[in-house]
Amino acid sequence: MRIIALSNRQAVSRLIDRRQETDPAIARRVARIVAAVRRSGDPAVLRYARRFDQLTAPAEVSRDEIQAGLRAIDPSLRAALRTSATHIRRIARRQIPRAWRTAVVPGVEIEQRVSPLDRVGCYVPAGRYPLPSSLLMTAIPAQVAGVPEIIVACPRPDPTVLAAAAIANVTRLFRLGGAQAIAALAYGTDTVPKVDKIVGPGSAYVAAAKALVATDCPIDFYAGPTEIVLVATRGNPTWIAADLIAQAEHDPDARGIVITTDRALAERVIEQVKARMPATGPTRQSLRQHGVIVVTSTLAEAITLANQIAPEHLVCDREDVAQASTRAGTVFVGPYGAQAAGDYATGSNHVLPTGGAARFRGGLSASDFVHVHSVQRLTKTGLATLAPTILSIAEAEGLKGHAESVRVRLRRVRAARNATPRT
């Protein structure tokens, strides 16, 4: 890690402007894979699965295998996964948009309807470690939202992932990964059903594939390298270093940033990182290449920079900092707000926007799995009441047909009124 001053504009600019651009070589390979799957379906999917993931078993995991995975894991882990699932469900229930109806003026009523998507695809990575937590975090909010079919793709589902699939009660689970799995979910094959939305983190190939199919099948968001920002005015340097190391072990491209007004604290954090960092491996690579401590003159400067970075995870030691931090995927407050707690146990979703996307959205939630639309009801009284507004704006825009579509109705109303015998 290194320490920089806020006045180092070039270095600070790199922290803020981190475009999530796909490697052109990866983009070309992914485009070929997606096109082949879209064109050929199962044969292409299986060919790539055998080539990249050494698939030898059937592509679909049976229900008996899923239940066997649940029985095979240690009882304490089984209990932990169930607890995590309970907390995720509790939070997800609060995230679903509400249906409502309201009258705008007499004779004009607007209704909001909320209905679940029909089928969603959840991608679960299987890189260096199994990630049952990612299955819970993607499948359970969809289940809570009422989605009837939840399809999971994971290239190498071990017993922990199978157990999570059982606990989340997923509909189907496939031993498929990479760009070929994303393409199969987006376009459908004889074996893999086409879904209405794809969610979940993954490799650079998965991210590129999601970006490519997004025009045909909605996705949650483009997922780049994971990142953490800690705004610390005081605190335990050992704990801060531990948070940085925890985030760095995800990926050699993971980013760890501390923003502080206390240079002495920054130096103590550096010492603790050096003392605790592994001698080799992705954690060391991440912190050496992407670990930065920015020293600011004031707390206001620190908060402004954190909002400009718009990180995936923000950890801060003060409530006032949390209140002022409006651009983050999720915010942890206080010395015991370990980011790892959110990964596994708090119930708040750990599938979060990266690369500055937290400027405009938060993490995955049950609201991502529903369709919200409006229903508009107008009576003749209601249309007549709105007519002056409609006609004035339509004529100002030069859309005479719009105005006439209202006038023709009003003429009928007037004709019917004039035809009524007077007594």
Domains and CATH numbers, the chain: 2-20+224-347 (3.40.50.1980), 24-222 (3.40.50.1980), 379-419 (no CATH)
Cβ–Cβ < 8 Å for 2, 263: no
Annotated active-site residue in 250, 290, 313, 350? 313
pLDDT on residue 422: 63
Cβ–Cβ < 8 Å for 150, 170: yes
**Among 224, 231, 235, 169, residue whose Cα is nearest residue 202:** 224
Beta carbons within 8 Å of 165's beta carbon, 6+ residues apart: 61, 66, 69, 135, 139, 152, 157, 173
d(CA 359, CA 18): 13
Distances (CA, A) of 356 to 15, 30, 223, 227, 296: 10, 24, 11, 10, 21
**Among 221, 225, 216, residue whose Cα is nearest residue 185:** 216
d(CA 15, CA 304): 13
pLDDT on residue 420: 62
pLDDT on residue 251: 85
d(CA 1, CA 243): 14
Annotated active-site residue in 111, 312, 395, 402? 312
Whole-structure pTM value: 0.92
DSSP secondary structure letter of residue 6: T
Verify whether residue 313 is a known catalytic residue: yes
Q: How confident is the prediction along the chain (423 residues), in pLDDT tens digits per residue?
A: 899 888 888 888 888 887 666 789 999 999 999 999 999 999 999 999 999 999 999 999 999 999 999 999 999 999 999 999 999 999 999 999 999 999 999 999 999 999 999 999 999 998 778 899 999 999 999 999 999 999 999 999 999 999 999 999 999 999 999 999 999 999 999 999 999 999 999 999 999 999 999 999 999 988 888 899 999 988 899 999 999 999 998 888 889 999 999 999 999 999 999 999 888 888 999 899 889 999 999 999 999 999 999 999 999 999 999 999 999 999 999 999 999 999 999 999 999 999 889 999 999 999 999 999 999 999 999 999 999 999 999 999 999 999 999 999 998 777 766 776 665
Verify whether residue 312 is a known catalytic residue: yes
**Among 179, 60, 195, 178, residue whose Cα is nearest residue 125:** 178
Long-range contacts (CB closer than 8 Å, 24 or more residues apart) made by 333-339: 335/235, 335/236, 335/239, 338/239, 338/243, 338/246, 339/228, 339/243, 339/246, 339/247, 339/313, 339/315
